[in-house]
């Protein structure tokens, strides 16, 4: 059993990686995942996706969202992933997007700071859940905002973090970067327009050295950076970004979870030899988040070669 703490991080680096929890990539075999609850979910117009749904006259149905959430949980379990639910709080309608209130690293989770007023309380249930699971917290963001949808443990030794100045601020990014660089890892920052919510609506790792990117939505510099790391890119059309089509979860062993509506990326994944698991989450995505937004990996097998 680990000793629960709000600061496992060593100030000068050299923090020991956790043995039973943590991740060193976005694509190592997923064993445990933290999922946000659907109990109090409703669409809020604090992001472009939700405003678009309202403009198009779409109607939210909580019972449908509940069924789809259950289907997604069943899909994880059938893939051999143990699911852990964040405790529901009636004051927090966007808890379902469990990616954002914390981010997992090799050294434990970082508790983040949320940008939107209706999400700022999400830190409390997250801390309670980590205490329940005996997972020591690496540290807590105290400078500006940082949300998990902007943070990716891309591959061993490298973290990619986007910042728009809203959901993740330059100050929150800089604080996280200073911690991780002291551990000897590279942190790649990418600045983008707040219209895109988080970087995980434009970029996703599908497997080792394979990424899905909406090339039309990112700067050429980011595309070149991926290519410089010998990462193959599957280009995703811009209209699919509006449908959260790039928001996918690599399950490891050449398997990927993506929304059933995203048939275009599913075909491209299968063409690259990947197995596709595709729950229907069409009542959830208009709120502004897909399968990647709803999960925070707690444990992935190491992607480092033995």
Q: How far apart are CA 171 and CA 177, in angstroms?
A: 10
Task: Encode pLDDT of 129-182 as tens digits.
Answer: 999 999 999 999 999 999 999 999 999 999 999 999 999 999 999 999 999 999
**Per-residue pLDDT tens digits for 19-60:** 999 999 999 999 999 999 999 999 887 666 777 877 888 889
**Cα–Cα distance for residue pair 109/104, rounded to 1 Å:** 4
The per-residue pLDDT for 212 is 96
End-to-end CA distance of the chain: 26
| Res 306: pLDDT | 64
265 pLDDT above the threshold of 70: yes
Selection from 106, 99, 132 nearest residue 22 by Cα: 106
Give the pLDDT confidence score for residue 226 in this predicted structure: 98
Please say whether the beta carbons of 262 and 21 come within 8 A. no
**Given this model, what pLDDT does residue 242 score?**
74
Measure the CA angle with vertex 39, ends 150 and 102; round to 5°.
Answer: 25
- In whole angstroms, give the CA distance from residue 23 to residue 113: 21
Give 2's pLDDT tier (boundaries 50, 70, 90): low
Q: 267-273, long-range: CB within 8 Å, 24+ apart, which pairs?
A: 268/212, 268/234, 269/206, 269/234, 272/206, 272/207, 272/210, 272/234
Measure the CA–CA gap between 63 and 39, rounded to whole angstroms.
10
Q: Tell me how far apart the alpha carbons of residues 36 and 295 are, in angstroms, rounded to a whole number.
A: 7
**Average pLDDT score over residue span 299-303:** 96
The CA distances from residue 87 to 5, 90, 125, 277, in Å, are: 19, 10, 6, 26
- Per-residue pLDDT at 305: 67
Q: How far from 116 is each of 19, 68, 102, 264, 271, CA to CA, in Å?
A: 34, 25, 15, 32, 39
- Phi, psi angle pair for 71, to nearest 5°: -60, -40
Beta bridge partners of 102: 111
Q: What is the pLDDT of residues 247-262, one digit of tens each?
A: 999 999 999 999 998 8
């Amino acid at each position: 059993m680990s000793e629960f703490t709000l600061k496992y991080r060593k100030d000068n680096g050299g923090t020991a990686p956790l043995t039973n929890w943590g991740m060193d990539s976005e694509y190592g075999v997923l064993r445990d995942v933290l999922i946000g609850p659907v109990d109090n979910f409703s669409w809020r117009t604090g992001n472009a996706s939700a405003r678009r749904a309202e403009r198009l006259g779409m109607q939210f149905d909580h019972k449908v969202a509940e069924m789809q959430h259950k289907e997604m949980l069943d899909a994880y379990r059938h893939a051999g992933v143990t699911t852990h639910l964040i405790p529901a709080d009636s004051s927090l309608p966007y808890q379902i997007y469990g990616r954002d209130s914390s981010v997992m690293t090799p050294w434990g989770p970082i508790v983040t700071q949320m940008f939107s007023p209706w999400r700022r309380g999400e830190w409390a249930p997250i801390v309670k859940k980590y205490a329940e699971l005996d997972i020591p917290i690496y540290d807590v963001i105290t400078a500006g905002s940082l949300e998990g949808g902007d943070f990716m443990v891309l591959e061993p030794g490298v973290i990619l973090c986007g910042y728009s100045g809203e959901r993740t601020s330059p100050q929150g990014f800089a604080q996280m970067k200073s911690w991780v660089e002291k551990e000897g890892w590279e942190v790649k920052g990418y600045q983008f327009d707040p219209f895109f919510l988080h970087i995980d609506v434009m970029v996703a790792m599908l497997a080792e050295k394979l990424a899905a990117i909406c090339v039309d939505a990112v700067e050429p510099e980011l595309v070149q950076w991926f290519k410089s790391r010998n990462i193959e890119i599957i280009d995703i059309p811009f209209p699919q970004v509006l449908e959260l089509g790039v928001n996918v979860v690599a399950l490891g062993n050449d398997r990927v979870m993506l929304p059933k509506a995203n048939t275009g990326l599913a075909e491209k994944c299968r063409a690259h030899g990947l197995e596709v698991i595709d729950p229907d989450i069409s009542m959830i995505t208009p709120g502004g988040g897909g399968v990647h937004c709803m999960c925070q990996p707690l444990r992935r097998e190491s992607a480092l070669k033995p």
